[in-house]
Amino acid sequence: MPNARVLEEKKSMVAGLVDKLQNSAAGVLVDYIGINVADDTKLRKELREAGVDYAVVKNTLLRFAVREAGFGELEDVLQGSTALAVSKEDPIIAAKIIEKYSSIVPGDAFRVKAGFMDGKVVDVATVKEIASIPAKEELIAKMLSSLNAPLTNFAIVLDQIAEKGGAAEAAPAEEAAAEAAPAEETPAEETAAPAAEAEAPAEETPAAE
């Protein structure tokens, strides 16, 4: 029989697992037995940087935890080696990273067992579908790109309108200048004509007899 101290330690560990399960946006259970040290180190680093909690867990303790957390359906996969990856905020990132390494490691040496999201247990196929969803950063980048395209097109249209407007204003100004030039020369020609007519009779005056 285990002593009281050991029992308390196990109860504390189960409580910690229950807290992870109930307060995470999503999680993935994985059989990790075949992953090598180098890949395992890279996996843990990538998960840690993404804000994902990853740890190897004992099936006996996790079995108590899933029952208490309301994920009893996960008991069926609690065989062999088990690691738990949970994310408190991002419901996609844990599945995305785990599935990435599942495809890198040959065979079934590192495979997804099951998962959960929004308080519901999901199977392996669903975990793979979740992993295929673009990450939050990718979605934001695509959204900003789609929003920026109409604004860019709108700016181009405004520039074209401005250029056409400038050309339209320049044309009337040039026409007005062309019409104004002959109007200024006309009085001079009309003034010269009467002067020539006034001088002609003076030459025809008969000499005195």
Buried b (16+ CB within 10 A) or exposed e, 105-137: beeeebbbbbbbbeeebbebebbbebbeeeeee
Q: What is the pLDDT of residue 4?
A: 84
pLDDT tens digit string along 107-149?
788 999 999 998 999 999 999 999 998 866 666 665 676 666 5
Put simply, whether the predicted model's pTM sits higher than 0.85 gets the answer no
Averaged pLDDT score across all residues of the chain: 79
102 three-class SS? helix
User: What is the DSSP code string of 112-124?
Assistant: EEEEEETTEEE-H
- Is the pLDDT at 98 greater than 60? The verdict is yes
Q: What is the pLDDT of residue 133?
A: 87
With a pLDDT cut of 70, the percent of the chain lying above it is: 64
User: Which tokens belong to 88?
Assistant: 């408190």
Q: What is the pLDDT of residue 144?
A: 72
Distance CA 74, CA 139 (A): 31
Q: What is the pLDDT of residue 84?
A: 97
Q: What is the pLDDT of residue 167?
A: 56
pLDDT tens digit string along 9-33?
999 999 999 999 999 999 999 999 8
Q: What is the pLDDT of residue 79?
A: 93
pLDDT tens digit string along 171-191?
555 555 555 555 444 444 444
Distance CA 77, CA 185 (A): 104
Nearest-Å Rg of the Cα atoms of the chain is: 44
- Is the pLDDT at 81 greater than 80? The verdict is yes
User: Which tokens belong to 204?
Assistant: 């025809």
Distance CA 206, CA 209 (A): 9
